[in-house]
Structure formats: C-alpha cells, structure tokens
C-alpha cells in the first residue's frame, strides 16, 4: 500500500471514530465507560495519519515533483539489448525498484482509495442499535445467572430493569415480586403467536457479546415493533420454564434512552 494511502486511511478512521464518540453514536456499539478510550484512540489515529501525510508530502521522489520517479524510470534508462545492454540482474533490480515506487501499477493507487468508502459509510449512515430483530433471534429463554438479586423497596411500585425482573421471574418463582406492582422500561418485540415482549439488551463490553432479555406481556395489544414503552403490571407464572411473564395493566410510550443497552 502506498504511504499516502495508508496515512489517509488512518486519518479517516480517526475522524470517523472521533465524530462517533463526540456525538454519542458509539453508544450503539459499546459501553458508555469506553468513551475516553475511544477518544484517545481517535487522537492517536489522527496524529499518525497526519504525520504520515506530512512525511509523504516532503518526500523528494514524489511523482508530482520535479526530479521525482515519474520523470524517468531507472529501468527505462538502462539498455536492455545490444552491446550496451546492462546485466540481466541489474535490469531486474531496476524494474523491481520501479514497481516498489508505484511505477507500472496503473490505477491501483486510485482504486485503493475506495477503501475509504466503507469507513465513511459508518459516519454518514450509522448502524442502529440492536433491537427486536436481534432479540427475536435469541428467543425468550432467560439466561441463567449465579448473581443474587438485590433487595427491593418495601412499598410502592418496583422499578426494575428488564433483565433483573426476567431473572427473578424465571428462576426465583416470583418471590418478592409476586404481589407487587412492577414497572419495566424496554422496547417492543413481537412474538410468533401474535403477542409481544417488553425487551432490553444487556452488554458486558460491546454489542458483540449482547444478550437480550424478553418478558412476555399478558394484557394490552402490542404497540409498534421497537417502540420504547413503560409497562406496569404484576408477575404471573410463565407457560414455558426458564421464561418470564408479566400481567400488564398500563402501557405508556417513552423516549428511547440515551444508552440503548443495560450494562
């Protein structure tokens, strides 16, 4: 890869990473605590790319400079036939040197800049966070955990994260929440049987290790797919072991949270 192309790619990747971090787009991929690491990485990439471009611009043998290697290739100046012909090894070495300088490569350097296109697409057309499609593929079975559930407030509706309720409902037989109003906030995932789930996706590091927690809803009809809602209801036994269910009395649309994942 030509030096200017490699340096330019580093700078573009650094720019995309910096913009994504400063605008909050990185939250669709990683935990909020990774923000400063991403910013530091973006700065390093930008500095490395800029340094590479400056170094390339100062090279005396650049093709667009007088005396650069486009003014005449070394191999072209050698005699290859007749009594003045150079040694075959010298001719081969000169041709190899010309290839290393980018001679005879046609349009390959220009085509190489197409590598920038997918990087720019990340900036111009950012991906959406994981939603109902990914959750439906994982299914409603609640991941088993050895973590112990924390204590609940003594009175009033219990505000719980969807993963916390799902684990309590699936593996703790609803103890502590069976006779309590529970409020959950999540997005809507349609079920195959016409019902729906209130869902939240949890990550440990990034979207690559994401795991969705689905709580089946008894009661109101399903809102639109991926709508964020706050539901209030009470625990009810699930039909399938290892799953969670909630008998819902109230469904309220809410804005999507700044961070789409539970961490």
Same domain (yes/no): 78, 175 = no
The reported pLDDT for the residue numbered 7 is 79
The reported pLDDT for the residue numbered 70 is 45
End-of-domain residue from the set 124, 146, 178: 124
The reported pLDDT for the residue numbered 194 is 87
Q: Contact, 36 vs 144, CB < 8 A?
A: no
Distance CA 224, CA 207 (A): 24
Same domain (yes/no): 231, 209 = yes
Same domain (yes/no): 156, 213 = yes
The reported pLDDT for the residue numbered 43 is 92
Distance CA 241, CA 26 (A): 36
Q: Contact, 52 vs 6, CB < 8 A?
A: yes
Three-state SS at 212:
strand
Same domain (yes/no): 144, 226 = yes
DSSP letters of 185-199?
Answer: EEEEEE-TTS-EEEE
Same domain (yes/no): 176, 236 = yes
Q: For residue 183, what is the domain's CATH number?
A: 2.40.50
Q: Number of H helices and number of E strands within the chain? A: 8, 7
End-of-domain residue from the set 100, 124, 148: 124
User: CB 163: neighbour CB atoms within 10 A?
Assistant: 23
User: CB 19: neighbour CB atoms within 10 A?
Assistant: 15
The reported pLDDT for the residue numbered 232 is 95
Same domain (yes/no): 70, 158 = no
End-of-domain residue from the set 92, 124, 156: 124
Q: Contact, 183 vs 149, CB < 8 A?
A: no
Same domain (yes/no): 83, 151 = no
Q: What residues make up the domain containing 34?
A: 3-124
Same domain (yes/no): 136, 257 = yes
Specify the DSSP class assigned to residue 68.
Answer: S
**Mean pLDDT by 10-residue block, N- to C-terminus, for the chain (263 residues)?**
72 85 85 88 89 76 51 51 64 67 50 70 75 91 72 77 91 82 95 93 88 94 94 91 93 92 87
Distance CA 65, CA 56 (A): 12
Distance CA 231, CA 222 (A): 12
Same domain (yes/no): 97, 154 = no
Same domain (yes/no): 113, 194 = no
Three-state SS at 251:
strand
Domain count, the chain: 2
Q: 220: burial class by Cβ within 10 Å (0-12, 13-18, 19+)?
A: middle
The reported pLDDT for the residue numbered 105 is 45
Structure tokens at 181: 């109003």
Same domain (yes/no): 193, 243 = yes
Same domain (yes/no): 77, 139 = no
The reported pLDDT for the residue numbered 20 is 84
Give the CA count within 13 Å in the CB-facing half-sphere of 34. 22
């Amino acid at each position: 890869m030509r030096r200017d192309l490699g340096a330019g790619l580093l700078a573009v990747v650094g720019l995309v990473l910096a913009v994504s971090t400063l605008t909050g787009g990185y939250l669709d991929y990683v935990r909020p605590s990774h923000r400063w690491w991403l910013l530091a990485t973006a700065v390093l990439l930008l500095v490395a790319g800029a340094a590479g471009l400056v170094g390339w611009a100062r090279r005396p043998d650049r093709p667009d400079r007088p005396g650069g290697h486009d003014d005449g290739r070394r191999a072209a100046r050698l005699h290859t036939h007749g009594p003045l012909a150079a040694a075959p090894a010298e001719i081969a070495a000169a041709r190899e040197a010309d290839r290393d300088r980018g001679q005879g490569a046609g349009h390959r350097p220009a085509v190489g800049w197409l590598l920038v296109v997918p990087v720019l697409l990340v900036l111009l057309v950012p991906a959406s966070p994981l939603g109902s499609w990914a959750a439906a593929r994982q299914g409603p079975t609640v991941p088993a955990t050895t973590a112990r559930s924390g204590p609940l407030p003594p009175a009033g509706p219990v505000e719980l994260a969807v993963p916390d309720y799902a684990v309590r409902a699936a593996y703790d037989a609803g103890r502590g929440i069976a006779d309590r109003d529970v409020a959950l906030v999540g997005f809507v995932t349609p079920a195959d049987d016409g019902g729906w789930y209130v869902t939240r996706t949890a990550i440990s590091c990034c979207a690559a290790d994401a795991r969705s927690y689905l709580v089946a809803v008894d009661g109101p009809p399903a809102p639109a797919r991926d709508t964020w809602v706050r539901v209030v209801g009470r625990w009810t036994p699930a039909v399938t072991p290892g799953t969670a269910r909630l008998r819902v009395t109230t469904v309220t649309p809410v804005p999507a949270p700044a961070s789409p994942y539970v961490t």
